[in-house]
Amino acid sequence: MMTEGLMVLTNHGMYAREMELPKNMCWRTYRARVHGRLTPGKMRAMRNGLTVRVDDNNDRDGDTSGGGGVKKGRKGIDNTGEGGEVVRTGRLMRYKGIKVSIERRSISSRGGGGGTGRSSGGGSGRGTNTWLRITCTEGKNRQLRRILGSLGLDVTRLIRISYGDYDLNTIPPGMAIEVRCKRLDGMKRRGPFFAGGGGGGDKKKRGIVKDETASAVEWINFS
C-alpha cells in the first residue's frame, strides 16, 4: 500500500520464484523521496551494507522507522531511547550494500509540498527532501524503508521503476500491459553492481555492470 510503480505479474510460479531469489541478484531499481539529513557517511553506509535491528511487531504500514537502530561491527552500537538507555528489542537483520545516488535535493520544504512539512530535526527550522535512485538485489520485506529509517531518513514516496530487464517506462497508473517474457539467464540487469562483485564502498570504484546500456523491455499491448 505504501509503495507504487512497476509490478510484474506472471502465472509461472517457478519463474516468479527465480526472479525473487537473492542468489539470482535481479536488480530492483526505485526512486525514493526521503526527508531528513542526508550525509556522505549515510550514503557510504548504504553502499557498504549495514545491520539493522528490526521489530516485526512494530513494523506496520506508515511506520518507516522499521524498528530503528544500526549495529556496526561486532561490538557496535544499538539504538537508544529518549532517556539514553539502550533499546534491544527486535532482531538483527543484515542488508548487503545497495547502489544509491542523489537525483534531486530540495531545501526548506514547506507544508503541502507534495510530501511533508516536518523539520529535519536538526533544530535549524529547515526541512530537507531528497530524491534518491536506489538499486538493490535482495528484495527483503520493507528493506529500503528499514535501511533508510535506521539512518534517520523518513521515506515519503517509494516508486519501483524497474525489476530485472522489465521497465516501468511511461505506462499510465492502473494499466496492465502484456509483455514478452525475458529469460532470466539473458537479463542484463542482474548480478553485482560493484567492481569485484563485493558489497561496494568508496575504496572501490563503483563500476556499474551494464546499467545504462541495458536494453529495456519492449511493451506490447495485445488488447
Classify residue 68: in a domain, yes or no. Answer: no
Classify residue 188: in a domain, yes or no. Answer: yes
Dist CA 43 CA 89 (whole Å): 26
Classify residue 216: in a domain, yes or no. Answer: no
Beta bridge partners of 157: 33
Classify residue 203: in a domain, yes or no. Answer: no
Classify residue 129: in a domain, yes or no. Answer: yes
Classify residue 182: in a domain, yes or no. Answer: yes
Cell of 96: 548487503
Q: What's residue 30's pLDDT?
A: 96
Dist CA 138 CA 144 (whole Å): 10
Q: What's residue 118's pLDDT?
A: 44
Classify residue 210: in a domain, yes or no. Answer: no
Write out the DSSP string of 24-64: G-B-EEEEEEEES---HHHHHHHHH-EEEEE-TTT--TT-T
Classify residue 75: in a domain, yes or no. Answer: no
Q: What's residue 169's pLDDT?
A: 87
Q: What's residue 196's pLDDT?
A: 54
Tens of each residue's pLDDT in the chain, 223 residues: 778 999 999 999 999 999 998 889 999 999 999 999 999 999 999 999 999 988 766 655 444 344 444 444 333 334 444 444 444 567 899 999 999 999 988 765 444 444 444 443 444 435 589 999 999 998 888 999 999 999 999 999 999 999 999 999 888 888 888 888 999 989 999 988 765 544 433 333 333 333 333 444 444 444 4
CATH of the domain at 28: 3.30.70.1560
Domain that holds residue 105: 4-49+97-144+153-197
Q: Under 8 Å CB-to-CB from 145, ≥6 apart: which residues?
A: 2, 64, 66, 155, 158
Q: What's residue 106's pLDDT?
A: 75
Kindly give the pairing relationship between strand 70-71 and strand 99-107. Answer: unpaired
Structural domains in the chain (count): 1
